[in-house]
Structure 1
Amino acid sequence: MDHNVDMCSSSTIPRLTRLATERIAELIEKDILPLFNHQLIASCSNDIFEILRQKKMLNRRTLQTMCSKRQFQINKIDLMGNKVVLEDLELCANQDLLSFRLGDIDYFPNTNKIQVAEVLDASLNQTSRQQLRHLDLSGRHRITSSWPMYVAKHLPSLESLAFANRSTANDTLAQIGSSLSKLRFLDISSTCVTDISCISSLKNLEVLIMYNLNILKGDVTETLSNLTKLRVLDISRKVNTDYLQETSQDAHLDLALGIFNRSVEAIESGKSTPWADLRAIDMSGLSIVQFGTDRALAFVQKIIEAHPKLEQISLLATPLDSSLVEIPGRNIQVINTVSRKSVLIALSYYANLERPAFITHALHSVYYQLQSGYDKFSGEELKECLRLVCVAMQHSLSTLAVQIAGSACLYHLCKMKRIKRLSVKEVNNCIERSLDAAEQYRSMTQLQKNVWLTICNDYLLHLDGIDFYRTCKVAMDTMLLNRDASVERMTIAIVSIVTPKMKPAEAKTLTIDPKYVNHLVRIMNDYLEAYHREYRNGHERDNDNALYTLKFTLSALWNLTDECPTTCKSFLEAGGVEIAFRILRAFEMHGNVQTKVLGILNNLAEVKDLQLQELCKQEYISVLLSIGAFSDFSRNFFRFCE
């Protein structure tokens, strides 16, 4: 009984905590946080700060609330992905920090480089400088090269340092190797470093991340052999899809081969390797010295055998990507794509890392698993799959390949009746990530097709709790910039369905800019002409597509003009009335089309300020009489003509 209570507590309390932190972050975001007298503990405060960061809501106002008020106790600040300036960073000095991640802030005074020393001076108070243990300077912008001197002098407790993706070279690494002997974690991925010999002196190093590093000189194996406390080693490289073809890797020292040789030496001599405490090694993307599958398997087995504490080895996008790797008596986690379970593990491992090539590779594998074996996924696996796909897409929004692969996975998770296996919150997460991708890459037709195929689901579009305003706006923006026929057809259909679900104020906000109504009127005309053209040519299928698109366009305009004088005025000024009467004449056998047109015209007629008298042409009156239209519009229209 007690055991069951404990299990219930461990699963429920974190969920309540998460809901509470999300709500507090929302109140801060909206600037309506009520006053309270107690101070939130660091773990909760850090979680709230992280939610704001992920939503890109870190600015002077939110930083003022989080950092200046004593209601929050923050010891971890991460600014990655948010636009802040030096004056904003000064607010961070109100908190005593253990961890600080800079990101690419908008701060370039008189230079095109981030002045790291000045930024750290502004962000860290005296207590923070003395106790700071984790510093992450990773990012894309250029930074000053003298920062290691500042770090060595002012941050005596530093144990973890990262500067991945910066254009940092060997001189900077040399300063680190000579002055930061306490380092236990170092990430130099995708930098300009070509020689790591200078870090031999970092005897306390336990984690070394060297993803996509071009080592051109120095005895790498000897250098690594001096780092005897290593527990985690990442020597992975960008994905090479043709494992047997010569690549640029051959111009670099083969790190994997060096580790393999030391492993063989240790096995043959009966001694331990220099890395007796190694727990995890990432070799993803390596050609493994161009071995075939059988030799590559023997190669990896030797490395595992020589390291008895090894718990994880990553082999994604290697010759062993789809091979079962087992060692009798060893319970080791192999990250590759050999099974549905391993694919999800691979995506979980890389989803939050700066490894777009591996994230894309894992998403491709997820896609094939969903395409060929969706029915084999359990309910929990589907939920976890969806969560990981969304995390990967959100983390790698700037990588098109990730967005295309991720959106294709979301389509398979949501299509047809499959979507009913997901909760509203999970569906909403799918929509948000899809809309993010659609906004980021408006002209990429394949991505747009993936997005709108996913969202254009009757069940989804009738769920409560969906952000219909954002969905409609992104769909209409897409129509303006992408004229692919299938994309246009889907976005218009979505707009026609969601417009009546929006609040009146949202609909008015959406159509303040006349470009949307102008575009819909243009589509009315285009598809009226297309319908005539396909009818004359006898292309029945294309004719049906034109008719469906026209109906959706008319439905959207009917809803958007309802009780919205601004939209009605835009419709009138765009020449919509003339086109509407042409449609009435052309579709005399389609009552559904005529009803929609008359609905639009009636919305116009109800706006007293519109000058409709000039529309009392004999041809318009004849059309109304010929179709027997005695609707509200007819009465209003004839009133103008009296």
Structure 2
Amino acid sequence: MTNGWPDNSPDRLEDICVQFCATNIETFAAKNETSGQYDLQEGITLPKSICDKLLKALVDIKPSTVHENFTIFSDTARSQLSSICLRKSRINDKCLKLLENQPIVDLELSNCQELTRESLKTINKFQRTLKSVRIEGRSLFYNCDENTNALDESAVLECPNLRTLCIQDYDFNNPDDLVLSTFLLTLPRLTHLDLSNCGLCAEHVTSFQSLPQLRSLNLSNIMKEDGSDTENKQLLTHIGQLKSLRHLDISVADDPVKFLQPDKTLSDLVSALPQLVSLDISGTNLPGYEKFTPVSHQLHANSSQNCAEEEECCIVGLNGRQFKFLGLLDCLHDPCFRENLPAEQVTGHGTEDQVLLSVQRYQDRSVMLCSALNKLFHLFQAGVVSDQCKALECLLEGMQRHPADPHVQISGSASLFYIAKGDQKENLTQKQKRKVIDLVLDGMEAFSSEKKMMRNGCLTLCYFNVSQDVLYCYSRISRVLLDMLKVEQEDDFIHRIGIYLLNCLACQVNKQQKALVGKLGAIDTMLMIIKKKLDKEECDDMMEVAWSSMWNITDETAENCKRFINCDGMLLFLRCLKMFKDRGELLRNMMGLMGNIAEVKDLRHQLMNSSYITVFSDLLDSTSDGIEVSYNAAGVLAHLASDGPDRWCKDKPSREDVLSRLTRAIKRWDITSKRNINYRSFEPILRLLVHFDTPEVQLWAVWALCNLTKVYPEKYCELLENEGGIPRLSVVLNDPRSQQDIKELITSILQNLQAFKEKPDEEDMDNT
């Protein structure tokens, strides 16, 4: 651990194997052609230690198709499950029934819309081992018979060993639906009951008295802001009859619940519950106003009465009590800022610890979680979050649990941005980085029309190292960014970041990945942006980076060069050149792209017309951006000329005039000029060395190699040697047809290579 951060270690081998098997299910299972489901291959038995992990991985990877894999776990002699979470999966009654012989201990069936009450019978088959059940949504309580929606009283959980039951988002006030009192009668050992977000009335609480071992009760969002004070107080009165309660949650999200006599109401509640050690009253006015003791300037002798007054609780209704946990998030009058709060742990926004505890505690409640995330964001904005590791883990967990909630995703991503760019970013492990990137992309894909989400996501991604952190998901991130660039925005800020990111990615990837991003529409999208800028007569960094991106992704990628031609890219090239002829960086990027096209023999004829040749020839004399524009124009013309006189355009300018201008430009350049170019391979240049019939072409090639090996020997000497450049240069050097100036440049190249080899490295210098 480093300052609370985990070690940057890889996943355990077992976890890697589980992920691989979940992604490649054919490695251990075979698809049944009749049923379409997977069965374990003959002779394979899954170790008990990995079954739960494997099912979780299958759910995480593809929750929509996990039901196809349940036959894998139907034979308990070959696989055993104990804890399964099927949140938002497409599992149906028939699939769940396949697991009826499994020794399930923990079961979550949240928002599984295809389950009906028939599955209650399957759950009851787990009664010997089942300890915990979590159900969200109504589907499990529906009758599969469309002719009736009523749930008969026989549809209950017959799980006498059940300790924890969570039913959320269900209305128990509907007389045709589940009868709560009947449902609870068969659960004598229940200790934890969670009915948050359910429709309940005060009378329902009386049925809890049939649970003699009940210790924890969660009735979050049961009290209503629009309910009467009498109704809400009656609910609390019934709760007060549960004398054995140790943990009580009556928090409220959204609009706060107000009591007419908050101090007395809270005091009556806690007095009725003597064993209570955990209380959540978030979103209410129950903490009341802070009681201030008037300051007296009269001197008094110390007395026991004065001491008692000094220690009086800052929440009147809790006077004399001390709790392990107290929930005060979004309470009226901000009690979380008061001193001497009567609890070891408190949720709220008074301190960093309170905010982090709120994010951690309310993971399952999207509204309260979002409120806590907003408060965490403000702390990050103020630069006062010290425990960023804990903040990160809580953020990631919350965003992962609520992928369909835009408020959670936007609020969470806003804080992730500050972690990614903050002073502790070097502590992020590779696993944490990937999880951040994956969740940010999840949010951007799900909420592409939310400007804040796209902005937060792009800004966060900007602070990751492209080559080390992002390339593993190159295809996905490219698709997300390209889709974003196609959407009209009120301002260009998001588009600017998107183009910047795409350009950074294009600089790092190989030929296959460049071809892939071309198939995804990168060329079309860049040209669309350029056309819009031209129509507005604007030349800004977006225009320049759009050309730069195309320069990068067409490098040695003929498919993308062809796409540029087919999308009328040359027409936009001429328009840009005419409208913005004095923009040096723009011209360099455009001519760099032309150079890539000229390297593709099958496309050179597309450049071979009078208009283009005239433009390229005139740019030979350009001094914009140093020698870059002139150099790139010369490279284009050298490749065009390499096809011979027969391929040259019939109209002016003549081939002889162009080659003459080419030679004059090359001889004008300073061989020590620094360059703004990045060659991955010299093969396109080396191919030009054989053209003895056109020495101007050879001259450009050897000048380029001489300049690069002289100015950047560390980068290009080894590249030239590895690609067999020395013997090919030697052939030209020793050929009697070679001109003297070409031989002199080749001699300089060989001297550059020799000097680089003889140069002592830093380690040798340190040892001398």
Please state which band the TM-score falls in when normalised by the shorter chain: 0.7 to 0.9
1:25 is aligned, of 16, 19, 23, to 19
Change (3 A) 1:474 1:56: same
- The amino acid that maps onto 1:500 is C
Partner residue in 1 for 2:574: 581
The residue number in structure 1 matching 2:119 is 119
The equivalent residue for 1:538 is none
Q: Residue 521 of structure 1: CA displacement? A: 0.8
- 1:203 is matched with 212
Taking structure 1 as reference, are residues 157 and 333 closer, same or farther at Cα in structure 2, changes over 3 Å only? same
1:500 is aligned to: 507
User: Does 2:625 correspond to 1:623?
Assistant: no
2:346 touches 2:357 (CA, 8 Å); kept in 1?
no
Judge conservation of contact 1:472–1:499 (CA < 8 Å) in 2.
no
The one-letter code matched in structure 1 to 2:346 is V
Distance in 2, Cα, partners of 1:559 & 1:16: 33
Distance 1:432 1:295 in 2: 50
What is the correspondence of 1:475-624 to structure 2 with a 5 Å cutoff? Answer: 475-483=481-489, 484-514=491-521, 516-530=522-536, 532-533=537-538, 546-606=539-599, 613=605, 616-624=608-616
Partner of 1:634: 637
1:574 to partner: Cα distance: 2.2
Aligned counterparts, 1:442-453, within 5 A: 442-453=448-459
Determine helix, strand or coil for the equivalent of 2:84.
strand
- Retained in 1: the 8 A contact 2:93–2:116? no
Structure 1 residues 599 and 100: CA distance shift in structure 2, 3 A: same
Q: Distance in 2 between matches of 1:404 and 1:345?
A: 20
User: Any conservation in 2 of the 1:129–1:155 contact (CA below 8 Å)?
Assistant: yes
**Which amino acid letter does the alignment assign opposite residue 393 of structure 1?**
M
Query: Which residue identity is paired with 2:119?
Result: V
Aligned to 1:540: none
Contact 1:568 1:603 in 2 (8 A): yes
* Structure 2 residue identity aligned to 1:292: Y
The 10-residue stretch of structure 1 (619-628 or 419-428) with the greater mean CA deviation from structure 2: 419-428
Q: Does residue 1:293 correspond to 2:290, yes or no?
A: yes
SS at match of 2:337: coil
Instruction: Give the 3-state SS of the residue equivalent to 1:281 in structure 2.
Output: strand
* Cα gap change, 1:584 to 1:425, in 2 (>3 Å): farther
Residue 449 of structure 1: how far off its partner (Å): 1.7
1:98 counterpart residue number: 105
Which of 317, 320, 324 is equivalent to 1:311?
A: 324
**1:326 is matched with which residue: 340, 358, 362?**
340
Contact 2:356–2:376 under 8 Å retained in 1: yes
Question: Partner of 1:152: helix, strand, or coil?
Answer: coil
- How many Å separate the matches in 1 of 2:151 and 2:263? 31
- Distance in 2, Cα, partners of 1:79 & 1:178: 26
Distance 1:321 1:555, change over 3 A: farther
3-state SS, counterpart of residue 131 of structure 1: coil
Q: How much does 1:256 deviate?
A: 8.6
Task: Give the % identical residues.
Answer: 20
Deviation at 1:136, TM superposition (A): 1.7
Which residue matches 2:221?
212
Tell me, yes or no, if the aligned pair for 1:137 and 1:162 is still in contact at 8 Å: yes
Give the counterpart letter for 1:189 in structure 2. Answer: S
The answer as to whether partners of 2:507 and 2:552 remain within 8 angstroms in 1 is: yes
Using the TM superposition, give the Cα deviation of residue 630 of structure 1 relative to its aligned residue in structure 2, in angstroms.
4.5
Residue-by-residue CA offset, 1:410-439 (whole Å, 9 max, x unaligned): 122222765334333333332222222211
State the shift of 1:345 in Å.
2.0
The answer on whether the counterparts of 2:223 and 2:250 sit within 8 Å (CA) in structure 1 is no
Identify the residue that residue 433 of structure 1 maps to in structure 2.
439
- Counterpart-to-counterpart distance in 1, 2:352 and 2:608: 67
SS at match of 2:248: strand
Which one of the candidate residues 327, 338, 355 is aligned to 1:343? Answer: 355
Alpha-carbon offset, residue 168 of structure 1? 4.1
For residues 418-465 of structure 1, what are the alpha-carbon distances to aligned partners after superposition, in whole Å with 9 as ceiling and x for unaligned?
5334333333332222222211211121222222122223x5334346
Following the alignment from structure 1 to structure 2, what is the Cα–Cα distance between the partners of residues 23 and 451?
Answer: 31
Cα pair 1:56 1:81 within 8 Å, conserved: no
2 CA distance for matches of 1:51 and 1:293?
A: 50
Alpha-carbon deviation of 1:170?
5.4
Amino acid at match of 1:236: S
Match of 2:145 in 1: none
Aligned to 1:460: 465
Out of 185, 194, 200, the position equivalent to 2:201 is: 194
| Partner in structure 1 of residue 655 of structure 2 | none
Asked whether the 8 Å contact 2:161–2:187 carries over to 1, the reply is no
TM-score w.r.t. the length of structure 1 is 0.79
Give the SS at the match of 2:133. strand
8 Å CA contact 1:220, 1:253 repeated in 2: no
* DSSP-derived class of the 2:286 partner: coil
The structure 1 residue matched to 2:368, chosen from 340, 344, 358, is 358
- Kindly indicate whether the alpha-carbon contact (under 8 Å) linking 1:39 and 1:70 is maintained by their aligned counterparts in 2: no
Q: What is the Cα deviation at residue 549 of structure 1?
A: 1.0
Q: Which residue identity does 1:348 align to in structure 2? A: Q
Of 254-263 and 476-485, the range deviating more from structure 2? 254-263
Tell me which residue corresponds to 2:762.
Answer: none
Partners of 1:490 and 1:517 in 2: how far apart? 17
- C-alpha contact (below 8 Å) 1:236/1:285 kept by paired residues: yes
CA distance in 1, matches of 2:152, 2:358: 34
Q: 1:503 to 1:137 in 2, by over 3 A?
A: farther
Q: Note the C-alpha offset of 1:64.
A: 4.5
**Correspondence 1:235 to 2:250:** yes
The code of the aligned residue for 1:360 comes to: C
Alpha-carbon distance change, 562 to 552 in structure 1, aligned in 2, over 3 angstroms: same
Counterparts of 1:33 and 1:24 in 2: how far apart (Å)?
Answer: 11
What displacement does 1:238 show? 0.7
5+ residue gaps, structure 2, are 29-40, 143-148, 294-311, 621-631, 650-768
Counterpart check, 1:89 vs 2:96: yes
Report SS of the residue matched to 1:208. Answer: strand
Question: 1:408 corresponds to which letter in structure 2?
Answer: A
SS in 2 for 1:157: coil
State how many pairs are aligned: 578
In structure 2, distance between residues paired with 1:54 and 1:78: 10
* Aligned residue identity for 2:133: L
Query: What is the rounded CA distance, in whole Å, between the counterparts of 1:210 and 1:138 in structure 2?
Result: 14
Q: Distance in 2 between matches of 1:335 and 1:422?
A: 26
Q: Once the two structures are superposed, what CA deviation does each residue of 1:497-538 show, in whole Å capped at 9, x if it has no partner? A: 112334544443343244x432221112223444x45xxxxx
Secondary structure, counterpart of 2:170 in structure 1 = coil
- 1:394 is matched with 400
Correspondence for 2:748: none
Contact between 1:237 and 1:286, CA under 8 Å: does it hold in 2? yes
Higher helix share: 1
Name the residue aligned to 2:238.
223
**SS of the residue aligned with 1:189?**
coil
For 2:154 and 2:500, locate their aligned partners in 1 and report how far apart those are by CA, in whole Å. 58
The aligned amino acid for 1:451 is G
Could you say which residue in structure 1 is the equivalent of 2:379? 369
Matched, 1:469 2:470: no
- Over 3 Å counting, the alpha-carbon distance change for 1:548 and 1:160 in structure 2 is same
Aligned to 1:3: none
> Could you tell me how far apart the structure 2 residues matched to 1:255 and 1:157 are?
39
The structure that has the greater radius of gyration is 2
Q: Is the 1:103–1:137 contact (alpha carbons within 8 Å) kept by the matching residues of 2?
A: yes
Residue number in structure 2 paired with 1:78: 85
Shift of 1:154: 4.2
> Hey, what does 2:628 align to over in structure 1?
none
